[in-house]
């Protein structure tokens, strides 16, 4: 599911991949306005499925971190306001979600972005972060 959700550098929010053209992608905003726009090869685009967070031992895919946040928050938006939260509160939140996260390489801005993306996905009905394995 997260493979088709994109973060685009310089553009706020998240986008869903709709189709691909010759030299561009057609994306739709995940937020309520559902606005569609073209994204060109010169834009820096990354799929949420390709993002991972550093831990002391290895890297954990973003999908697993989002699933952990969903479990902690019982499927609702986070109770922590990332805009007003102190560095201590953000650290405690991250430690509750991913206890062995690398405190040197995971910055406060990364934690804020995680919370922002999670809230955006949940508020727009995207709640399946880890793909179910086919039996």
Instruction: Locate 110 and state its tokens.
Output: 């990364």
Number of domains in the chain: 2
User: What CA–CA distance (Å, rounded) separates 27 from 30?
Assistant: 9
Write out pLDDT tens, residues 22-63.
Answer: 889 999 999 878 899 999 988 999 999 999 999 998 999 999
User: What CA–CA distance (Å, rounded) separates 26 from 68?
Assistant: 30
Write out pLDDT tens, residues 122-135.
Answer: 988 888 887 765 44
Residues sharing a CB contact under 8 Å with residue 99, sequence separation 6 or more, in sequence order: none
User: What CA–CA distance (Å, rounded) separates 99 from 131?
Assistant: 23
Domain co-membership, 43 together with 10: yes
> Is the pTM value of this prediction over 0.85?
yes
Q: What CATH number does residue 61 fall under?
A: 1.10.10.1650
Q: Residue 118 is part of which domain span?
A: 51-123
* The pLDDT value given to residue 32: 74
């Amino acid at each position: 599911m997260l493979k088709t959700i994109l973060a685009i550098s310089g553009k706020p929010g998240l986008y869903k991949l709709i189709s691909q053209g010759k030299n561009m992608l057609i994306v739709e905003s995940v937020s309520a306005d559902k606005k569609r726009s073209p994204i060109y090869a010169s834009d820096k685009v990354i799929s949420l499925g390709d993002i991972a967070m550093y831990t002391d031992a290895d890297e954990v895919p973003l999908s697993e971190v989002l699933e952990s946040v969903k479990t902690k928050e019982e499927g609702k938006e986070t109770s922590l306001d990332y805009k007003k939260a102190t560095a201590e509160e953000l650290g405690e939140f991250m430690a509750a979600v991913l206890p062995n996260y690398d405190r040197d390489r995971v910055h406060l801005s990364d934690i804020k972005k995680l919370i922002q993306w999670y809230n955006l996905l949940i508020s727009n009905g995207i709640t399946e972060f880890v793909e179910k394995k086919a039996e």
